[in-house]
Amino acid sequence: MVSVDGRRTLDPDEVPDPAELAVTVLGSGGTFAGPDNACSGYLVRGGGTAVLLDCGPGVLSSLQSHMAPTELDAIVVSHSHPDHWGDLPILRNALHYVLGHGGMDLYSTRETLGLLEGVFHDGVGGAFRLHAIADGADRRSIAYSADTGPAWSLGRLGDGIDLGICEATWLASDGFDVDDLHMSAEQAGRLARQDGVARLVITHVPPTGSVSLAVAEASEAYGAPVDPARIHHTYLA
C-alpha cells in the first residue's frame, strides 16, 4: 500500500478491507484499448457489495483478475459510447450461456438501455434486469465523470465528494476545441478543486497521450497531488 498525504492506494496484489469504500481500476484507456490497458472499467467495492462501473473493451478480462463475473452484485454503465460498454455483450453471453447466472441488475440511462436492448439479437432478458439510473445518497461518495466536457462537473452529483474519478482526455496545450465532449487535464483539476472533491483520480487518457503530463497539469490546477487511474490498482475514498 502507498499512502501520500493520507490518500491510500493499494497495489494490484492487495485486497481492500470490506469495510472500506474502494475503486479498483480495470481499465482507463480513452477511445480504444491499448496493449496493456483496457477501456473504461472500475470495480467499486464496499460493505460486502461489488459493482462494475462501465464495461469497456478489455474490462471483462481484467475483472477476472479480481473476482468472477458471477460475484458482481450490479453493473452501472455511465453512457452510450461503446468504449464504456463494449464488453457488455460478451459478459452477457458469458453469464447467460456459460455461467448460468441470470438476473444481474444493470443500471444506465434510458438512452443507453434502449441501445443495449438493440445490440442483443435476442434481447437482454435472462441475463440482466434493467434499471434507469436515479439519484441517491450514501455516507461516503464516489463520483465518476465520463465524456462530459467542462460544462458538466463532478459537483453536479452533490456536495462532499470523497473520491472523484474524472476523464482528462486532452492536455490544455493540445489546443483541441472539443469542449462539448471531453475535458483537458487542467479542466478536470480546476473543476474538482472548485467542487471541493477530496481526492481526484484522472482517467480516459488515450494510448497516444502522456499520463505523466496529464497528472502534472491536473495536479497544478487542482492544487494538490492527483492520481492517475492505474490498471488493477485500488483507490480508497
pLDDT of the chain along its 237 residues, tens only? 666 567 889 888 888 998 899 999 999 998 899 999 999 999 999 999 999 999 999 999 999 999 999 999 999 999 999 999 999 999 988 988 888 887 889 999 888 888 888 777 565 556 788 888 754 544 678 888 888 777 777 777 777 889 999 999 989 888 766 566 788 999 999 999 999 999 999 999 999 999 999 999 999 999 999 999 999 999 998
The per-residue pLDDT for 109 is 84
**Structural domain harbouring 90:** 2-236
What pLDDT is stored for residue 133 in this prediction?
73
CB 171 within 8 A of CB 209: yes
Note the pLDDT of residue 28. 95
- Residue 3, pLDDT score: 60
Q: How many CA atoms lie within 13 A of 173 on its CB side?
A: 7
* pLDDT at residue 5, rounded to an integer: 66
Check residue 137 and give its pLDDT: 47
pLDDT of residue 124: 53
d(CA 118, CA 234): 34
| 3-state secondary structure string across the chain | CEEECCEEEECCCCCCCCCCCEEEEEECECCCCECCECECEEEEEECCEEEEEEECCCHHHHHCCCCCHHHCCEEECCCCCHHHCCCHHHHHHHHHHHCCCCCEEEEECHHHHHHHHHHCCCCCCCCEEEEECCCCCCCCCEEEECCCCCCCCHHHHCCCCCEEEEECCECHHHCCCCCCCCCEHHHHHHHHHHCCCCCEEEECECCCCCHHHHHHHHHHHHCCCCEECCCCCEEEC
Number of domains in the chain: 1
pLDDT score at 230: 94
| pLDDT given for residue 75 in this prediction | 96
Q: What is the pLDDT of residue 179?
A: 60
CATH of the domain at 72: 3.60.15.10
What is the structure's pLDDT at 106? Answer: 92
Residue 66's nearest CA partner among 77, 83, 53, 50 is: 50
Cell of 69: 463475473
Confirm whether pTM is higher than 0.85: no
What the block records as the C-alpha cell of 167 is 476523464
Q: What is the pLDDT of residue 138?
A: 46
**pLDDT given at position 186:** 94
What pLDDT is stored for residue 15 in this prediction? 87
Q: How much is the pLDDT for 122?
A: 60
